[in-house]
Structures are given as C-alpha cells and as structure tokens.
Structure 1
Amino acid sequence: MLTPPGNGWITVDVGESDTTVLRRDNVFAKCCGPSGIAELAAERDRASWLANTGLPAATVVDWIENPAGACLLTSAVPGVPGELLPPGVREQAMRQLGVVLRELHSLDGCPFERPLDEVVAVAADVVRRGAVNPAFLTDEWRQVPPSALLASVVAEQPYVESVLEPVVCHGDACLPNVFFDPSSLEVTGLIDVGRLGLADRYSDLALVAIQVHDEWSADPGPFFTAYGLPKPDPRRLEFFRLLDPLTWG
C-alpha cells in the first residue's frame, strides 16, 4: 500500500478492504493498494466536483499514484462530526442538515451517476459472496437469510423505479460524514463522497432517518420538515434502508 511522503502522519482509520486513512495537521490522506486505485480515483473526482459547487466540503490537496497504490490528500473540514453532537443541539443540527441536503439535491450538472439497477447488482454480489456485515443489519434482519433480504429489495424495486427522483446524492450521508459547527450548528463539511452521484433522493433520506433514530434516538421529523418533505414515502424509506447495508462487503 502506498503511503504519503513525509513524517508525522497518524493513522486515524483502517477502512474495509484496502484503504487506510491518515492525518497530519489539517490534511487527511486516504491510501490504498493497487486494487483500490480506480475506486479512490473516482472518489477524488467526486470530491473535486463537490468542492467547486459552493457547498461545504473537503478540497482535494494532492493525488499521488504509483505501482504500489494511491493516496488522496484532502483538507480537513472544520467542526465536529454529527455523531459527537450533544443531545441538546441535535434538533437544530437536524434542521441544518435538512437544508444542506436539499441544496445538495438541487445541484445541476453532476457528471456522476449511481443507477439503482447497479446498486442492486452490487447488493446481489455482496449477498452471493456471503459478505454481508451483520453489524449493519437490525436485530430483526439478522434473523433473516441475506438472500431473503435481497429478495425483498428486488420485489420492491419496480415500485421504487416507477417513482424515481434522481438528484445529486451524497451516497453515504451518515452522521460521521457530516460535520457541524458546534456553536452555530451549521453544516461545515460533507466528507467521504465516494458514492456521490445521481440517484433517488430517498437513498440519502433513508440513511439520514435511520442514523438519527439509531445514533441519536431521535425522531427525524425536524430533518424532513427542514428538507421540505414533511410526509416522506415510507415504502421508499424502507426500501433504501434495507438496500444500503447489503451494499457494503
């Protein structure tokens, strides 16, 4: 695996597969081996695009690639990740996130796509390889064979496709990937955008809703109201809530 040049780098996260994240001062380096170069380059391109939209995001500082792998260097965003916010400010943070996510979903000119059929195909491959991570499943879903969970997704897919609303989605809008100013609660940065692209808006909405419920034990109502969708479609929420954990493996 390639590592960034210089001293003083501290490992902050060892990701799944072939990725390690390091930090030095206000720069993060996400590094991979040869097999991960294409995926990391795709994240680089998405991060560069998002940083040029005016929305709060990390900027690409450098890209290093050689036969040993690649390193994507990005700026650290200010603030704290959502999962570290104390209970008393979470409702306001939800409202701020709803506003920013709506702005993200309103962007034009995104050159990246994440078609639903491709996402379902990824899930099918993860299930086929027996690579579903049970930690990403609810207690109820852990009692069900992954193949049956996938069958539920496939059965509901025609409905979701019939009402599809493609917008620019983050793709992994979980609380660790959203940073907030701890005082104003404004969103200061969206990070880890390797899955950013045109997709159904509910792929983001469902993940935020389940994160708010599971991590904050909170009702996501203020988030949906601020987003402008006080009565979301429960079928689409459930569909993407189930599909997402099947795609990590």
Structure 2
Amino acid sequence: MLPPPPDGWTAIDIGESDTTVYRRGDVIAKCCAPTGVAELAAERDRVEWLASTGVPGAIVVDWLESSDGACLVTSVVPGVPGDLLPPAARDRAMRSLGAVLRELHTLTDCPFERPLASVIGTATDVVRRDAVNPDFLTDEWRLLRPSELLDQVVAESSYIESVLEPVVCHGDACLPNVLFDPQTVEVTGLIDLGRLGLADRYSDLALVTIQLHDEWSADPAPFLAAYGLPTPDPRRLHFFRLLDPLTWG
C-alpha cells in the first residue's frame, strides 16, 4: 500500500472499496496496493472528466504511483453526506438531488461505459466466488441462494435490454456519495466515481429511490418529480435493485 506523506494526514473510514483513505486539510488521499492501481486510475480519470462538465464534484490534485501502489489526491467536497441530513432538510434535499442527477444524465461525450452485459458478468463472478455480502440484501432476498437471485436477473435481462436508456450514470448513487450544503440543502458534489459511465438511467434511479426508503423512510416522489420521471417503471427499478448488491464482492 502506498501511503501519503506522514505529516498531518489522518486516516478516515469511508466507503466500501479496498483502499485506505486519509485527509489533510482540504484534500483527500485514497491509496491502494499494486493490485488496485488500475481501478484507482480509472476512478481518477472519471473524477477528472466529471470536473470538466460543471457537475459538482471533486478535483484531482495529485497522482502518486510506485511499485508499492498508488495514491489519488483530490479536493474535499464540502458539505454533509446525504445519509446524515436531518429529517427537516430531506424534502429539499430530494429535490436538489433529483435536479443534479438529471443534469448528470443529460451529459454527452462520456468516454466511460458500463454495459449491462458487463455488469451482469461482474455479478456472475461475485456469485460464483460466493462473495455476495448478505448485508446488502433484503430479508426476502436472504431466503434465496445468491445463484437464485442471479437467475432472476438473467431471466429479466432481455426485457431490460429492450428498453435500455444509456445515460451518464454515477454507478453507486447512494446517499453517502452525495454531499449537501447544510444551510441551503443544495448538492455540493458527487463523490466515489469509480463506477461512473454510460449505463441505463434506472441503475441510478433504483439505488437512489431504495436509499430514500431505507435510510430516510421517505416517499421518493419529490426526488422523482425534480428528476422529471414521476411514474418510473417498477419492473426496471426492481431489476437494478436486485442486480446491484450482487456486484460487490
């Protein structure tokens, strides 16, 4: 693992990736072992690309690489993670998030892709290795073997392919990856962009709406109205809610 210089850096516990994260002042350093360099470099490229679009997020400050691994240094995105907002702020936050996600989904000329077949391939590998994290599954899904859940995904994939709407997606649009100004409750930035790329818009919509339900016990109607899709396809939402937890592991 390539660490940042020792002076003034504090280790922080953030995210689900196999990286070690440090903070010093207004910069964040995300460091990895040699096996993770390609993945971290891909995240660096996505952070740089998003910063060029005007959608709020971090800025790449430095990139360090050696035989010990790599370290991505970015600016700190100010604000409060969505999962820590107080209840009184949540309605406004949903509207702000809907508008920003819509802005993200209307971007063009994205050089990164997450084809559905590739995502299902990742899920197939995770299931094959028996690496699915049960904490990411609902109580109902835990009653089934991961292979049975994957079978449901594969069976439904032809329908999803037939209605696919590729847009620039965050790829892990959960509330901790969205920062908000605690005063205005406007989105200040999107973080953890390792999965950003062209994918079906429902891959983001499914995660956001289920997070709003699970974390806030909130009706996602304000978010969906601000996004511009007040009546989403429940079949597509279910598909991507089921697929996502099978891809981590």
TM range (shorter): over 0.9
Q: How many residues align?
A: 249
1:82-121 aligned at under 5 Å gives the runs: 82-121=82-121
Looking at structure 2, the residues matched to 62 and 168 of structure 1 have their Cα atoms a distance apart, in angstroms, of 25
Counterpart AA for 2:137: L
Percent of aligned pairs sharing the same letter: 74
Contact 1:27-1:74 within 8 A present in 2 as well? yes
Report deviation, 1:242.
Answer: 0.4
Looking at structure 2, the residues matched to 34 and 97 of structure 1 have their Cα atoms a distance apart, in angstroms, of 35
1:63-142 aligned at under 5 Å gives the runs: 63-142=63-142
Distance 1:134-1:25 versus aligned 2 partners, 3 A rule: same
1:52-67 aligned at under 5 Å gives the runs: 52-67=52-67
Looking at structure 2, the residues matched to 15 and 131 of structure 1 have their Cα atoms a distance apart, in angstroms, of 18
Distance 1:65-1:12 versus aligned 2 partners, 3 A rule: same
Report deviation, 1:32.
Answer: 0.3
Looking at structure 2, the residues matched to 27 and 183 of structure 1 have their Cα atoms a distance apart, in angstroms, of 22
CA offset digits 1:147-205 (Å, max 9, x no partner) = 00000000000000000000000000100000001111110010000000000000000
| Secondary structure of 2:13's aligned partner | strand
CA offset digits 1:64-85 (Å, max 9, x no partner) = 0000000000100111000110
The two structures, once aligned, show a CA RMSD in angstroms of 0.9
Choose 35-44 or 14-23, whichever is displaced more. 14-23
What is the TM-score when the length of structure 1 is the normalising length?
A: 0.98
1:154-233 aligned at under 5 Å gives the runs: 154-233=154-233
CA offset digits 1:20-50 (Å, max 9, x no partner) = 1111111111100000000000000000000
Contact 1:4-1:71 within 8 A present in 2 as well? yes
Looking at structure 2, the residues matched to 128 and 164 of structure 1 have their Cα atoms a distance apart, in angstroms, of 26
CA offset digits 1:118-167 (Å, max 9, x no partner) = 00000000000000000101111111100000000000000000000000
Report deviation, 1:18.
Answer: 3.3
Report deviation, 1:14.
Answer: 6.3
